[in-house]
Amino acid sequence: MLFTAIRHGARRQALNATRSFSSSTNKLAAAEVKKLGVIGAGQMGLGIALVAAQKAEVPVVLIDNSEAGLQKGLKFADKLLEKDIAKERITRETADLVRSRLTPSTKLSDLSDVDFVIEAVPEILDLKTSIFSQLAQIAPKHAILATNTSSIPITKIAAATTKDATDLQAPSRVVSTHFMNPVPVQKGVEIISGLQTSPQTLETALEFVKRMGKIPAVSADTPGFLANRILMPYINEAIICLETGVGHKEDIDSIMKYGTNVPMGPLTLADFIGLDTCLAIMNVLHTETGDSKYRPSVLLKKMVDAGWLGKKSGKGFYDY
């Protein structure tokens, strides 16, 4: 009886604390975002930049480490805009206006006057921490520093902003805005706070992705967050089924597509995500949790070693 009362009392206290925190968070005014910076002109980064320019109607500085990468990304933007014109979703005038809001650059220093930055580079910890260490020196002291990471702890990325310790408040402005691929199509965005993230940073991130026409979901800073904690083991198990001869690839995809009403089967989805990305996320889940259920499939490792990365390389479980 006593134990039950104590347990229920503690539970009530926790609920009250949560309600109090949620209430205070909701009262915070989100900071205004007038200009956005996006780092990485690949499929994810370009998609984020294009949607922000079109839906949120903000100027976007698109950063990449190579001029060739920038030009490839901008050509992809033109292709998407032309597709929208052909389907009469937008007019030529609107497309030209959206395109004019995209400013390409190879210099991080061009992010010195933005209000919000979204990093969308490959899932390499050293690369991301290096970028955030530089952003803490370059971006204005009010700017939100967001990462599109799908698996790396936000707390660890935020800690990188104190490397040179010129702005001790920088970690409080770090958050994750994890967009789903392809960004122009998928509505969901995971918003993840690190240990250091301030309530206002969280609120600003939530409001900005809503301006982009997205539907945010809040996740704790745990390995894989919500989406990949659920999705990647599903894909990995499908690969194990193929590897161990439980079914052919077409049958694996067919039963999940037509049996559970998902738009594509797990092996096709893995090809679209990129098998190297799938492997990187499974390795993070396995390492961070220490749980053997997250061990990457042997076949997945072999395919990445072979350079069969899916749609982007022309070959994965299927040929493209």
CB 50 within 8 A of CB 154: no
Which amino acid, one-letter code, is at 141? K
Select which of 148, 150, 219, 236 is catalytic.
Answer: 150
- 128 labeled part of a ligand binding site: yes
Q: Are strands 188-193 and 174-179 parallel, antiparallel or unpaired?
A: antiparallel
d(CA 239, CA 48): 30
User: Is there a catalytic annotation at residue 142?
Assistant: no
* 64 known member of a binding site: yes
Task: Give the position of tokens 């098998």.
Answer: 275
Is residue 190 annotated as part of the catalytic site, yes or no? yes
The structure tokens listed for 246 are: 């439980």
194 is in an annotated binding site: no
Is 237 known as a binding-site position? no
Q: Which residues pair with 38 in a beta bridge?
A: 62, 118
Q: Is beta strand 102-105 parallel, antiparallel or unpaired with respect to 188-193?
A: unpaired
Who's near 90: CB < 8 A, 6+ residues apart? 54, 81, 84, 98
Amino acid at 65: N
Give the H/E segment covering residue 105.
strand 102-105
* 212 marked ligand binding residue: no
Structure tokens at 172: 């409080």
Annotated ligand binding at 75? The verdict is: no
Task: Tell me whether residue 310 is annotated as binding.
Answer: no
Is 65 catalytic? The answer is: no
Whether residue 8 lies in the annotated active site: no
276 is in an annotated binding site: no
Tokens of 267: 């092996």
Cα–Cα–Cα angle for 279, 280, 283, rounded to 5 degrees: 85
Q: Which of 178, 193, 203, 297 is catalytic?
A: 178
The answer on whether 71 is annotated among ligand-binding residues is no
> Is position 150 annotated in a ligand binding site?
yes
Amino acid in position 265: G
Burial class of residue 15 in the structure, from the number of CB atoms within 10 Å of its CB (0-12 exposed, 13-18 middle, 19+ buried): exposed
Q: Spot the catalytic one: 119, 151, 176, 190.
A: 190
For residue 233, say if its preceding peptide bond is cis, omega within 30 degrees of 0. no
Phi/psi of residue 193, nearest 5 degrees: -95, 140
On whether 164 is known to bind a ligand per the annotation, the reply is no
Q: Is 123 annotated as a binding residue?
A: yes
Active-site choice (151, 176, 228, 236): 228
Binding-site residues from annotation for NAD(+): 40-45, 64, 123, 128, 150, 181, 312
Residues serving a catalytic function are 150, 178, 190, 228
